[in-house]
Amino acid sequence: MFTTSDNGDEPVRLAVIGAGTWGSVLAHIAAPCAQVSLYSATGKNVQALQQDRRHPKLPGFILDPRVEVKSTMGEELREASAVILVVASRYVRDMARQIASLIQPDAVVCIAAKGLEQGSAKTLSEVVAEELPEADICVLSGGSHAEEVATNLPFGISLAGSPHARSVVKRVFAKARARISEQDDVQSLERFGAVKNLIAIAAGIAEGLALGDNFRACFLTDALTEARRFVGASPEDVLSYGALGDLLATALSVHSRNFRYGCWLGQGLSPEKALAEVDMVVEGLNVAKVFDQFPRSDCPLLTRAANIAVHHENITRERFLSRLGY
């Protein structure tokens, strides 16, 4: 279902927590419709965003002057009717705990991070619900590279949650150049957003090994079949911006950090050097560790891809194909 935003009389007070590339861009595109505060979870990028309105990893991007950039979170968070969490998946639980006493108990909390909790394999909405039991939780996920959204190029994204939470988030992004598809199933959207990063690493390795377009098409088709099984999604949801759209954008683009990481591995770099080249969080690695810890007999291709990502060594074409089962 495709929708446009509801109109409200009062602008939403929005807190975006996480001043990485995606958090900064989300704050920027929300500014025409909301009173936005952007918080850095780590203190990084604050000076550049405050003084120059620029982000070190987004050349040419200038943050909307209406966005207030902050380095610390305080009582003012209670004024926010909506919070967007855009921190790496491994920090989501700690961040939810930090804001638990600061935000309105029934605030809309939108998760714009992707991944699974390592050690438990829980989705991020499950993690946040444990720490913020009264919050109205929703998830925003799709094929939306910050580098392109920052330049006002159109994109599609999926939104899952309660009708009220979806209505608030749609108001926030009413003037963004986005098509928003909606669904009720939060966890299927999250699980697909997580697993597609693992698929993108394997697709990147294949690209680095120059295995060609035919193999990549074959692998992505097989991986999509298993991803649907892992997620438990309906055929309609698989064809959404948050599933197929996200997979295409992530597994076929040089903007994708997971794809680039895989490319570097395929070209012979060590995991440490590949991470240094990407110089950003590679969420697919965390998902790979979850799959490696909790292998799925009904998803053999994804489990093998995870094993390759976690237990990587100098790998040849034939060894890569053999380990994947081709």
Q: Is 44 a catalytic residue?
A: no
Helix (H) / strand (E) element for 198: namely helix 186-208
Residue 51: how many other CB atoms lie within 10 Å: 9
Geometric angle at alpha carbon 191, from 97 and 232, rounded to 5°: 135
Rounded to 5 degrees, φ, ψ at 33 are -120, -5
Cα separation, 253 vs 147, in Å, equals 12
Give every CB contact of residue 254 below 8 A, 6+ residues apart in sequence.
260
Which tokens go with 66? 């209406």
How many whole angstroms separate alpha carbon 40 and alpha carbon 71?
5
Give the active site residue among 122, 196, 273, 289. 196
**Four-CA torsion 296, 301, 304, 306, nearest 10 degrees:** -80
Angle, alpha carbons 284-287-291 (nearest 5°): 135
What are the tokens at 145?
């590279």
Separation of alpha carbons 92 and 102, rounded Å? 16
CA distance 116 to 127: 9
E strand spans, the chain: 2-3, 12-17, 34-39, 68-70, 82-85, 108-111, 136-141, 155-161, 178-183
Determine the Cα–Cα distance for residues 183 and 185; give it in Å rounded to an integer. 6
Active site amino acids:
196
